[in-house]
A and B are shown apart, each in its own frame.
Chain A
């Protein structure tokens, strides 16, 4: 049994939390503003129409998607930026020198990422709620998808940060992987509106399940069965966590 260092893990969690709390404008206010802008733009582009295939008005459909998209992006940003700053400024060596097990490091990083995602979600819901009549039909699904999605993205950010050598590498991942996947995941439309081929492709996009399941929790309808997607999402999240743990343990791209 390896010795544990709960105080160390807690300190690391607090450190990772302070990292986003110290720059609230960037990490909380900015995403809220972006979400409002999207909402206004799509409101005028789409009008008051309801979403084809699903019997809901467009705002009630759009808001949960926007909230989830922000959660995913913020969870990813928290771990990946911390890891890459740590690498560039050489402070990651303190994570390696400290008596912290890989499990402790991973839990501290992911917990802080989830906390940031939850803070962003609450702020966004408060800011966006005046625009639509929000319903919360399945709170447990909302929580499951929200937390799982944040853990998954926090984990991907953790791995992406370990992989990156410099800020440019991180920007590469962001622009060529994260952004396309989130935008094509059905935040702004129902996939039933897409041509059949695209619908098929979307079923391989993990973000699609996250956003669809999360939205199902609000509006009670969706493109997939959220109780089946739940296993896909839960399984991917678990695999991602194990990967984080393993890669940290062997010092992947960290120890020469």
Chain B
């Protein structure tokens, strides 16, 4: 990879702020540290500000304030140095109808100041299953193929930092799996990877660190293991059959367990427990039975990343969990 990272951080973002011309504030003083060599997830609901953050780093959107360092170099001052070391897969598909995929890759490589490395270009086309389409005009490619071409374009100059903004949107399951295998290989070879995705199982499986943003703010910033151990809790689910409704009064009565309906019953969050003796299982179960009677079925489940994500980005529960560690 070009330019061995001199700093232990691939990215250090401080107080990054963005207000668009229409007055919309997309980022509110974001801080983010991406260690060199990390496989990093940037998650958040639609409109959270993920793409804004990425586009500021890519020089597509102008920042309103704050700073960003890439491998110890100031992104906004040392633009050319940083750009040579950054590959971005944009969220919105971009393609030049004048050229075929092979030409596009040669051009992109040249524009980034690299002599086109045909062996690497062929490998990229192969790894991203584009070999048999590489002489077609980009107009003739399917949506998924176009997105894979964007991934190839981001990698063609062998950047040590790759940022992928929803690279798997519209890519089928089989190819998605292969794309992630490829990313894992690159990461094992030392490339730092930052990705956004709405497929949370994939993020949970792939990434070693996760930052969740919501409304332009960081609401969680943890290693994946820590997040799943310390923030992900357990919940009790109780089934009462079809037609169960959770009334406002029920919500108020059980508020200490953050109750939510799942259609056939109710889910109650258990107090965070480090061992069985401090569990609030008994209190939650008794409270539910007292209110609804004995359930048809019940169980205790561990929250997965999706549950944590929903809890942290839920509108009326903006409590920050371990932000800024």
Interface residues of A (CB under 8 A from B): 2-3, 5, 7-8, 10-12, 14-15, 18-19, 22, 85-86, 89-91, 93-101, 251, 255-256
Contact = CB atoms under 8 A, between A and B. Distances in A.
A93 B108 CA distance: 11
A251 B56 CA distance: 13
B157 to A, nearest CB: 9
A3 B81 contact: yes
B107 A2 contact: no
Contacts, number: 82
Contact of A97 (B83, B96, B113): B83
B108 A94 contact: yes
A94 B61 CA distance: 13
A52 B236 CA distance: 99
A107 B216 CA distance: 38
A85 B98 CA distance: 10
A3 B97 CA distance: 31
Contacts of A12: 110-111
A255 B111 contact: no
Contact of B112 (A8, A18, A89): A8
A141 B66 CA distance: 52
Interface stretch (B84-92, B175-183, B304-312): B84-92
Given A3-B81, A98-B83, A255-B59, 7 more contacts: A18-B98, A18-B99, A89-B94, A90-B92, A94-B108, A97-B83, A100-B111
Given A5-B113, A10-B110, A97 B58 contact: yes
5 contacts: A93-B60, A96-B59, A98-B83, A98-B112, A100-B111
Contacts of A14: 110
A90 B112 CA distance: 18
B6 interface: no
Interface of B: 20-21, 58-62, 79-81, 83-84, 86, 88, 90, 92-99, 107-108, 110-115, 153
A19 B107 CA distance: 12
Of the candidates A10, A14, A90, A251, the one having the most CB atoms from chain B within 10 angstroms of its own CB is A90
A19 B98 CA distance: 7
Contacts of A86: 96
A142 B125 CA distance: 48
Contacts of B84: 99
A32 to B, nearest CB: 22
A247 to B, nearest CB: 14
A12 B115 CA distance: 13
Contacts of B21: 256
Contacts of A22: 98
Given A8-B111, A8-B112, A90-B93, A255 B58 contact: no
A173 to B, nearest CB: 22
A175 B95 CA distance: 28
Nearest to B52: A256
Closest 6 CB pairs of A and B: A11-B110, A90-B94, A99-B83, A99-B80, A98-B111, A3-B80
Contacts of A15: 99, 107
A7 B110 contact: yes
Contacts of B115: 7
B185 to A, nearest CB: 24
B80 A2 contact: yes
B107 A256 contact: no
Most-contacted residue by chain A among B59, B99, B115, B153 (CB, 10 A): B59
Contacts of B111: 8, 11-12, 94-95, 98, 100
Interface centre among B20, B62, B83 (most CB of A within 10 A): B83
